[in-house]
Amino acid sequence: MNLYFDNAATSHPKPEQVYLAVTNYFRNIGGNPGRASHAGSLNALRMIFELREKLARLFNISDPSRIAFSFNATDALNMAIKGYVNKGEHIIHTSMEHNSVLRPVAGMCKKNIIESTVIPADKKGLPDLDFLADSIKDNTKLLIINHASNVCGTIQPIEMMIEIAHSRNVKVLLDAAQTAGILPIDVQRLNIDMLAFCGHKGLLGPPGTGALYLSPDIDIQPWREGGTGSFSDRPHQPEYMPDRLEAGTLNSVGLAGLSAALDFINNETVEKISSHEQSMLSSLKTKLNDIEGLKLIGNHVPCVAVISFIVTGYDCADVSLKMEQDYGLMCRTGLHCAPLAHKALGTFPQGTVRISPGYFNTEKEIDYLVNSLRNIVLDDRLIPLKG
C-alpha cells in the first residue's frame, strides 16, 4: 500500500476532471493565449479569462485583471517583493516564512538594496505582535505574512497584523501557499494589498501554476519583462494589468488543469474541504498525542492540516524512511525550506517529520497512519541518536 501524506508540498492526487482538462487542452486547444486571433489562440485565451474570473470569485477580487499568473507561489512572491520594495526601504516579515520569502529578502539585503526585520515567533509559531508594531519605521514599505505555516500549520492572526501594518501605512503581502483553496480568503474584507498563491497545493491544480493579486491601489515594477502580445511596438513593458506582470508564454496546460480544479472546489465548497481537513486533523492530533515518545511540534489551534512531530531520541529521517519502507507512507522530513520557523519551534537544525493530509485522504487512512506510527515509535529497530 502507498499512501500520500505530503499535500503541503503538492497535493496528490488531483480531481479526475483536472487530468481530463489537461489532456483535452493539450491535445485539442494548445494555442498560445493572446498571441494570435486564430481559434487555437482565442480558445486558450478564453480558458485563461474564465480562470481569472473563477479565481476572482474565490477570493472576492473585484477586478480579475489584477490577477497575474505566475509559475508557483515562490515566483509570485519574488514578483511582489522585488517589484514593490525600492532601494533604501524596509521589509518586515515573520520568522515563520518559507525560503520563498527569506531568500529574496536576504538577497536584496546582501546587495544593500533594502533592510529587513524578522518578527520572532513563539513555540506555537505565533508572532510577537508588539515586536511587529515596534519594528515599523518611516521607511517600512511592506509586511509579509505566511498565512499558515508549512512546518506546523499554525494560522497567523492576519487580521490583527494587517491592522497594525495599515495603521502605519505599511502594505501587506499575504503568502497563501498553504491556505488558498483550504481557508476562505476575502481580499476585500481582509484588506489584503497583495496575495501570492500557488495552484498546485490546496487549489488542487497542476504544478507550474500560481498567481499574484494586486489590490487596485498597488503598482509594482515588473520583475519579468518580455512579450505580452500587446503594445508590441513599444520598447517597455505595458502599464496594463495583467500584461504588465505576465511576460512570456504562460503555462496554459497547467492553467487549464487549474481551471478544472477550481470548478471542483467551487462545487465541493471551500467550507466543506476545510471541514473535512479539520476533522482529519483533530482526530490525527488526538491519536498521535497518545503515542508515548512522539512529540507534536507547534500544535496550535487554529491550524491547517500540516502536522510536524519528532520522536524523542531518534533522527526524523530514520522515522520517515521506516514510514515509507515498512508502511508505504509518503511524507516529508527535514526543515521544509523554513529554517527560521524551526528555530522558533525549537527543532533547528534536526527538523521534523511532516504529515500533511489532503482532501482525498480518509479517516480509515488516518487510522492506518496512526497505527503505523505507533508501531514505528514503539519498535526498537529504530537506531537511537548517538551523543
Partner 1 sequence: MKSYCYITFPTTYYAIRAESLAKSEKFSIKMVPVPRNISSSCGTAMRCLEEEAEKINNFLQDNKVVIDGLYVQR
Contacting positions for partner 1 (CB under 8 A): 33-37, 42, 45-46, 48-49, 52, 64-65, 228-232, 238, 240-243
Nearest to 144 by CA among 113, 176, 191, 114: 176
Nearer to partner 1, 157 or 229 (CB): 229
Residue 118 beta carbon to partner 1: minimum distance, rounded to whole angstroms:
37
Nearer to partner 1, 163 or 239 (CB): 239
Cα separation of 101 and 306, whole Å? 19
Nearer to partner 1, 45 or 121 (CB): 45
Residue 64 beta carbon to partner 1: minimum distance, rounded to whole angstroms:
8
Phi-psi region of 282 (alpha: psi -120 to 50; beta: other; left: phi over 0): alpha
Nearer to partner 1, 33 or 202 (CB): 33
Nearer to partner 1, 259 or 320 (CB): 259
Nearer to partner 1, 69 or 327 (CB): 69
Residue 35 beta carbon to partner 1: minimum distance, rounded to whole angstroms:
8
Cα separation of 345 and 348, whole Å? 8
Distance (Å) of CA 104 to CA 78, 87, 143, 207: 6, 14, 14, 21
Residue 214 beta carbon to partner 1: minimum distance, rounded to whole angstroms:
14
Other C-beta atoms closer than 10 Å to the C-beta of 87 total 9
DSSP 274-340: HHHHHHHHHHHHHHHHTSTTEEEES--SSB-S-EEEEETTB-HHHHHHHHHHHH-EE-EEE-TT-HH
Residue 225 beta carbon to partner 1: minimum distance, rounded to whole angstroms:
16
Residue 204 beta carbon to partner 1: minimum distance, rounded to whole angstroms:
25
Residue 235 beta carbon to partner 1: minimum distance, rounded to whole angstroms:
14
The phi, psi pair for 143, rounded to 5°, reads -110, 130
* SS3 call for 70: strand
Helix/strand/coil (H/E/C) assignment for every residue in 151-213 = CCCEECCHHHHHHHHHHCCCEEEEECCCCECCECCCCCCCCCCEEEEECCCCCCCCCCCEEEE
Cα separation of 24 and 45, whole Å? 15
Maximum C-alpha span of the chain: 70
Cα separation of 258 and 198, whole Å? 10
Residue 29 beta carbon to partner 1: minimum distance, rounded to whole angstroms:
14
Nearer to partner 1, 59 or 314 (CB): 59
Residue 309 beta carbon to partner 1: minimum distance, rounded to whole angstroms:
46
Nearer to partner 1, 138 or 233 (CB): 233
Nearer to partner 1, 241 or 382 (CB): 241
Nearest to 77 by CA among 57, 96, 51, 105: 105
Nearest to 275 by CA among 297, 300, 305, 308: 305
Start-end of H helices in 4-92: 16-28, 39-59, 73-84
Contact 61, 55 (CB under 8 A): yes
Nearer to partner 1, 36 or 321 (CB): 36
Residue 232 beta carbon to partner 1: minimum distance, rounded to whole angstroms:
7
Contact 308, 347 (CB under 8 A): yes
